[in-house]
């Protein structure tokens, strides 16, 4: 394998299925999501991918996807680092709401801005909202000032990038092959950086669930090649399906 970095968005989650804004809500995979993870693992095995080190978030839809992939690849022994910095973008007060119903209420355009604009965050959770991450024991050791009540993609990128630079870059520079299993928007942040996508163009990028995206990076970590391990049509259809989730249902 010439690629040294593979990014995988977790398989379908319960709230993907119910079409709800998820963010930092810790929902599990559906059976389809587990199957997507199995296929991702089998695909990488078939193409003789292997890894030295693995990163994921602290949310179970990503962790379980990773477990299934490593199981399929017979790589369960690999070291894994879980980091809140790789979590999904925090969706603020939208978390739990149905995307199509929200679009019916506020308009497709407003929902597209909340979902895909670079710098506009959704409405924030109040500090005393029980869903605020400061009440969740998994973030007990994180500086409370860093815990978001909402995030734009820009804010997500601002917490993903320091982690990338500090924890992932040194391993890539040392020649390790890295797998990252994370989320639609934390991966959009990383892909924006790697592929140097502009603030405008990133609004049109949708990452499909469960399809490995493999990068070959050079010594300077510049992109030599990138490809999804699926045919182009399948990737396009899956990305368009993600984009459509934010549209109001036609009467
Ligand atoms: O709800 C979310 O957290 C994300 C990923 O499922 O959704 P979206 O594609 O709308 O950014």
Instruction: Using a cut of 0.90, tell me whether the model's pTM lies above it.
Output: yes
Relative to beta strand 5-9, strand 53-56 is unpaired
| N residues, the chain | 251
Residue nearest to atom 10 of ligand 1 (CA): 115
* Enclosing domain of residue 160: 5-120+152-244
DSSP β-ladder status, 178-182 and 213-217: unpaired
DSSP run (H or E) holding 195? none
Measured CA angle at 184 (ends 181, 186), to 5 deg: 70
Q: For every one of its 251 residues, what pLDDT tens digit does the chain have, with 9 covering 90 and above?
A: 799 999 999 999 999 999 999 999 999 999 999 999 999 999 999 999 999 999 999 999 999 999 999 999 999 999 999 999 999 999 999 999 999 999 999 999 999 999 999 999 999 999 999 999 999 999 999 999 999 999 999 999 999 999 999 999 999 999 999 999 999 999 999 999 999 999 999 999 999 999 999 999 999 999 999 999 999 999 999 999 999 999 998 86
Whether 109 is covered by a domain: the verdict is yes
Please check if 13 is assigned to a binding site.
yes
Total Cβ atoms within 10 A of residue 210: 27
Q: Is residue 114 part of a domain?
A: yes
DSSP code, position 51: -
The answer to whether 98 and 19 have CB atoms below 8 angstroms apart is yes
Alpha-carbon distances of 113 from 122, 200, 213, rounded to whole Å? 9, 11, 25
Q: Which residues of 137-169 are buried (b: 16+ CB within 10 A; e: fewer)?
A: eebeeeeeeebbbbbbbbbbbebbbebbeeebe
- Number of domains forming the structure of the chain: 1
In the residue annotation, 88 being an active-site residue is answered as yes
CA dist., res. 105 & res. 232, Å (int): 34
The neighbouring-strand residues paired with 181 are 8, 56
Q: Which residues pair with 180 in a beta bridge?
A: 7, 55
User: How far from chain centre, in Å, is Cα 161?
Assistant: 14
Catalytic residue among 10, 72, 151, 183: 10
User: Would you say residue 125 lies in a domain?
Assistant: no
Give the span between the Cα atoms of 98 and 245, in whole angstroms.
9
Which DSSP symbol is given to 210? T
pLDDT score at 251:
64
Structure tokens that stand for 27 in this block: 């929902």
Residue 177 lies in a domain: yes
**Ligand 1 centroid distance, CA of 74 (Å):** 30
Tell me whether residue 142 is in a domain.
Answer: no
CATH of the domain at 112: 3.40.50.1240
Catalytic residue among 3, 36, 72, 88: 88
Residue carrying structure tokens 């010594």: 219
DSSP SS3 for 28:
coil
In a domain, 112, yes or no: yes
Residue 113 placed within a domain: yes
61 marked as part of a ligand binding site: yes
Alpha-carbon span 214 to 207, nearest angstrom:
13
Could you identify the residue written with the tokens 């870059």?
169
Question: For the chain, how big is the Rg over CA atoms in Å?
Answer: 17
Exposed (0-12), middle (13-18) or buried (19+): which is 174, by Cβ within 10 Å?
A: exposed
Evaluate whether residue 126 is within a structural domain.
no
Cα(31) to centroid of ligand 1, in Å? 19
Residue 159 and residue 30: Cα distance in Å, rounded? 28
């Amino acid at each position: 394998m010439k690629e040294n970095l593979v990014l995988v968005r977790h398989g379908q989650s319960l709230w993907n299925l119910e079409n709800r804004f998820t963010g930092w809500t810790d929902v599990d995979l559906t059976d389809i999501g587990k199957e997507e993870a199995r296929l991702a693992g089998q695909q990488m095995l078939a193409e003789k991918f292997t890894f030295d080190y693995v990163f994921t978030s602290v949310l179970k839809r990503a962790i379980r996807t990773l477990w299934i992939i490593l199981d399929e690849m017979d790589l369960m022994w690999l070291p894994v680092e879980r980091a809140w910095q790789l979590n999904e973008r925090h969706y603020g007060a939208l978390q739990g709401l149905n995307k199509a119903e929200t679009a019916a209420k506020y308009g497709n355009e407003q929902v597209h801005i909340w979902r895909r604009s670079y710098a506009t965050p959704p409405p924030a959770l109040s500090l005393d909202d029980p869903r605020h991450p400061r009440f969740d024991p998994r973030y007990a050791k994180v500086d409370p000032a860093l815990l978001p009540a909402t995030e734009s993609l820009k804010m997500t990128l601002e917490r993903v990038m320091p982690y990338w630079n500090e924890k992932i870059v040194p391993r890539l520079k040392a020649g390790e092959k890295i797998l990252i299993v994370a989320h639609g928007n934390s991966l959009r942040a990383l892909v924006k950086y790697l592929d140097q996508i502009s603030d405008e163009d990133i609004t049109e990028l949708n990452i499909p669930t469960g399809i490995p995206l493999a990068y070959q990076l050079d010594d300077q970590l510049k992109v030599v090649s990138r490809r999804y391990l699926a045919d182009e049509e399948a990737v396009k259809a899956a990305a368009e399906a993600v984009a459509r989730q934010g549209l109001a249902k036609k009467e």
